[in-house]
Structure 1
Amino acid sequence: DHQMSKPETTTLRGELPGVKLAGSTGATAEVYTHGAHLASWKTADGVEQLFVSSDVVFKPPKAIRGGVPICFPQFSDFGPLGQHGFARNDTWEVTARTPTSVQMTLRSTPASKEKWPHDFVCVYEVMLGAGNHLKTTMSVTNAGTEPMTFTTALHTYFRCDDALAAKVTGLKGASYLDSLDGRVRREEVGDFVAFAGEVDRIYLSTSDALAVEDVAGSRSIRITKRNLPDAVVWNPWIEKSKATGDLGDDDYKKFVCVEVAAIETPVTLPAGERWECEQVLECVKHA
């Protein structure tokens, strides 16, 4: 076995282990080994860009409510597994790190193969970039002898000063499945998606340049995605926030989710092949 010592973890909020990244400009990020869950990203000015529930529960295997849960190998109920698969519920191994980046790895186990009968290696990397950039890459390798098929999403909760004034741009002209109406297919005709009620839509084959405009906070987050054709836009609104135990009753006002994803066309990976995707976030301040 290789003699390299295992990278150290530290104890993060909720008394769970993880890694804290720090950029030279003052930006920080926190990634839990539980779910390889990116739960904090602060830009150089110290402002938190991700939302975590006011009623968050840190009790593995329960997924952390907020930040960037990884949906793998299944998005939502698109398949036989439990909601969103199991990657967000499992403990990942820290396999590499620098002061500004961390790589975590999840491998198939006998237990995972009881749920999903495939040998796989999933590698997720979080990197603090120059300026107000944060990059995440994920690769999936089929380590078995049969093809395997999966759907996936990075379920990012973007913090907003006021979600009721927020807009998501870059989706005009895209088709979407409306999950609040039996996943009927519609076309986005608006210049932006706004939030005046519950929204739960799977936008298909979208532009790779999207943005969350936090109008009340005078800032926007630009989203650039690669190899993730779809994008889910979600806000639970009043009743679902109240009904969700680990979400504060007023939390719906504090975030919107834009989840870059591969859903409509699942990824089919032949034996021995590797698939990779990427999401880059950039915070832009408005005067």
Structure 2
Amino acid sequence: MSEDLNPAVVLGSFLGQPALRLRAPDGASATVLLHGGHVVSWIPAGGEEQLYLSPSANYGAGAAIRGGVPVIFPQFNERGPLPRHGLVRTRSWQATESVLRAGHAIGVLRFTDDIATRVHWPYRFELELTVSLAGKELDLELAVTNTGDKPFSFQAALHTYLRCIDPTKLQVEGLQGCDFEDNAPDATHKTGQQWGDVLTLAGPIDRVYRQVNRALTLREIGRKASIAMQGFDDVVIWNPGESGAAKIADLPDDDWQHFLCIEAARIAEPVQLAPGEEWAGMQHLRA
């Protein structure tokens, strides 16, 4: 496809699932499943896979895929009456655009409410996930529009599983001074503040950091990555550790050693959206 032609949906497959495959002129590539609007692969130009995807992941109707970048909406985890992590990660999206522009490969997927979602959540809405990549960078933008006649509030997240060599030897920088809520099973204090600029992992971690207004840096031997957010005020840092992984059916027992979730999120203060209004949040990743 040449630059700036009319958008065309370029569909392929991934493990038997319909997928939008994006490839920039410099070789950077990404794969997005229509199921869940779920990014399952990101390979920067000249690099290697940056996302973790469980080899035991489930696919198909109703499945929540373990790994990649699940889209969480309109509820985070079990913080409300809806199914865990909301309504859209287990349903089919529509690929609406795939184009090369200014050296970037860009894909857009859309999800619109239907009778099945309104059984759980009686609101009309539309989501668009825009995936843009080139070189060493990947941008993910989630836009939410209230298409109904009633206001609603929601939580949202891009639940990004970043591949790593050993989470116990990596460092996350940029969280200094941020308050957090600690949801790890063995947490002695449910709230706290990040005093040092370097976060390291000594075991399972499940924290929601609030009001994170700066980019984060992930460092490990031979690798450095940056994560920046816009519109998402919170960051979730999650790894189940050895004990937690053993309880997760779609995660091999030892695979907790191969990823760290750094999630752009809006949790502590849900977004309030009036009829006709739109909200957008972005996660920018650089390998």
1:47 alignment partner AA:
E
Tell me the equivalent position of 1:51.
52
Aligned residues: 276
Give 1:1-287 correspondences, 5 Å limit.
Answer: 7-12=9-14, 14-99=15-100, 100-129=105-134, 131-180=135-184, 181=187, 184-213=190-219, 215-216=220-221, 218-283=222-287
2:205 alignment partner AA:
V
Aligned mates of 1:15, 1:227 — CA distance in 2: 34
Please give the secondary structure, in 2, of the residue aligned with 1:248. coil
**After the TM superposition, which segments of 4 or more aligned residues of structure 1 sit over 3 Å from their partners?**
none
Change (3 A) 1:273 1:183: farther
Please give the secondary structure, in 1, of the residue aligned with 2:117. helix
- Structure 1 residue 37 displacement after superposition: 0.4
1:146 alignment partner AA:
K
Please give the secondary structure, in 2, of the residue aligned with 1:55. coil
Aligned mates of 2:272, 2:280 — CA distance in 1: 12
What is the TM-score normalised by the length of structure 2?
A: 0.92
Please give the secondary structure, in 1, of the residue aligned with 2:160. strand
- Structure 1 residue 183 displacement after superposition: 7.7
Please give the secondary structure, in 2, of the residue aligned with 1:34. coil
1:21 alignment partner AA:
L
Contact 2:64/2:89 (CA < 8 Å) preserved in 1? Answer: yes
Q: Which runs of 5+ in 1 are unaligned?
A: none
Please give the secondary structure, in 1, of the residue aligned with 2:286. strand
Aligned mates of 2:261, 2:17 — CA distance in 1: 24
- Structure 1 residue 97 displacement after superposition: 1.0
- Structure 1 residue 140 displacement after superposition: 0.4
1:218-238 Cα shifts (integer Å, max 9, x gaps): 112211110100000001000
1:165-218 Cα shifts (integer Å, max 9, x gaps): 1111110110000112498221111222111100000000012311222x13x1
Contact 2:128/2:142 (CA < 8 Å) preserved in 1? Answer: yes
Q: Percent identity?
A: 35
Please give the secondary structure, in 2, of the residue aligned with 1:78. coil
Could you tell which deviates more after superposition, 181-190 or 97-106? 181-190
Aligned mates of 2:188, 2:232 — CA distance in 1: 23
Aligned mates of 2:70, 2:24 — CA distance in 1: 22
Aligned mates of 1:78, 1:51 — CA distance in 2: 25
- Structure 1 residue 51 displacement after superposition: 0.5
Please give the secondary structure, in 1, of the residue aligned with 2:246. helix
- Structure 1 residue 59 displacement after superposition: 3.1
Contact 1:6/1:94 (CA < 8 Å) preserved in 2? Answer: no
Contact 2:10/2:98 (CA < 8 Å) preserved in 1? Answer: no
Please give the secondary structure, in 1, of the residue aligned with 2:52. coil
RMSD: 1.6
What is the TM-score normalised by the length of structure 1?
A: 0.92
